[in-house]
Structure 1
Amino acid sequence: MPPSSTSPPRPIRVVLVEDHDMVAEAIALALEQTADIQIVAKSRSIAAALVDTHQCEPDVVLLDRRLPDGDGITAISKLTAAAAGVRVLVLTGEATAAVAARVAEAGGAGVLLKSSRLDELQTAVRQVAAGEVVYGSGLLAGVLDVLAHRGRGGLALTAREHETLLLMADGASTEQISERLGVARNTARNHVQRVLEKLGARSKLEAVAIARREGLLG
């Protein structure tokens, strides 16, 4: 029989942003123990991360919160603009609901404590790459509570946008929304973006929090 022409799935491409060499090396070794995750660049600052993200086009940026040239959270919007489809997971030594809410508002995909187990880190990278949001134990409820008390935009959702919102509330990724609605992935992404704009939200998580407050999920 001729060999199969099916190519193995492309590994998840990660830009690691960490200014402490030993920590960066330990994280890189932990992630690259698995065949499905590849570190494509290591950055020591926000400025370097922006360049590496633009050049390497990763799936995930694993971002230390405290870097020599500033708070990593403030760079999330620039990082997500630097490469199409990139998602940002913030690593921090300590996390509160307020910090996690800042990450969600900025468009980040989640927060993970540096004290998390290596298998938790690997799982979080996979989840973020798949379009999910990841928050450490006990943070999610607090994030939703904080975001629910912040501003909103117009709430006139179309029927399809409301379907999209309900799927977002179930934790569906953009790819899953595409499959459930029977539309192309780009169309699903457009639906998600319109929901965010109408609710005045910067992330799926914030949109769900606002929708819960406004009774749109009932």
Structure 2
Amino acid sequence: MIMRSATCKDALMPSPSPYTRPVRILLVEDHDMVAEAICLALERSPELKIVARAGSVASALVDAQRHQPDVVLMDRRLPDGDGVTAIAELLALAPDARVLVLAGEGSASVAARVAEAGGAGLILKARGLRELEEAVHRVAAGEVVFSQDLLGDVLDQLTGRAPGLGANLTPREREALHLLGEGRTTAEISDQLGVALNTGRNHVQRVLEKLGARSQLEAVTIARREGLLT
């Protein structure tokens, strides 16, 4: 994957910006075609400028420190880590930046994690490039941007009125879930936890019940969606 800094201004020639300085954006996306489409779409606006592109958390941290962007547009899933988890490190290196997370799918739990980490919002890739451009403008202006269908649940979780999915998992069940995420069998999970096979099966079964999953694969899928697994 590309891990480089680049701008797109040679691809499009936007009209002069009416602002003294355009909003400077660090785009963090590991898929080249997606990154290029976003880059071209955002730089149609003379008020926005991509100052760097990164394809991993590691390169994003380097570019954030080097360029001190106004907005970091951060893909949630990257080859070397979770974009939400990286928010605190990004803000430590570029304290004036606003971090907007871009995700393929979202949930109230993931959105709440973004807010708790100091992120400025979460937008779904399915929303389209025009809505993404608007979200970047709003975040740069100091707003917090979350999808309307997630916002109420996010506020409930942040104020403690509604526990997130998986909040009732015990420490042992969380261990079992992480082992499921690594592709371990029930026998391997039991061995890793140092419990009898039947006890291991019970842990896995309770994980499925608490996540509302019908299979181990579905449990892992739900856990990843909810940010319980990175």
TM-score > 0.5, shorter chain as reference? yes
Distance in 2 (CA, whole Å) between partners of 1:127 and 1:65 is: 19
Distance in 1 (CA, whole Å) between partners of 2:99 and 2:52 is: 14
Q: What is the correspondence of 1:62-73 to structure 2 with a 5 Å cutoff?
A: 62-73=73-84
Distance in 2 (CA, whole Å) between partners of 1:124 and 1:139 is: 15
1:33 paired residue number: 44
Larger radius of gyration: 2
2:101 paired residue number: 90
Q: Deviations over 1:165-205 (max 9, x none)?
A: xxxxxxxxxxxxxxxxxxxxxxxxxxxxxxxxxxxxxxxxx
Cα RMSD (Å) of the superposition?
A: 1.2
Give the number of equivalent residue pairs.
144
Q: What is the correspondence of 1:5-154 to structure 2 with a 5 Å cutoff?
A: 8-149=19-160
Q: With structure 1 as the length reference, what TM-score do the two structures score?
A: 0.64
Question: Unmatched 5+ residue regions in structure 1?
Answer: 1-6, 151-218
Distance in 2 (CA, whole Å) between partners of 1:142 and 1:91 is: 19
Q: Is the 8 A contact 2:19 2:47 kept in 1?
A: no
Q: What is the percentage of aligned positions where both structures have the same residue? A: 62
1:215 paired residue number: none
Q: Deviations over 1:49-103 (max 9, x none)?
A: 0000100110000000000001110000111111131010000000000000000
Distance in 2 (CA, whole Å) between partners of 1:33 and 1:136 is: 23
Shift of residue 9, structure 1, vs aligned partner? 2.2
Distance in 1 (CA, whole Å) between partners of 2:21 and 2:95 is: 17
Question: Unmatched 5+ residue regions in structure 2?
Answer: 1-17, 162-230
Change (3 A) 1:20 1:141: same
Q: Which runs of 4+ in 1 moved over 2 A?
A: none
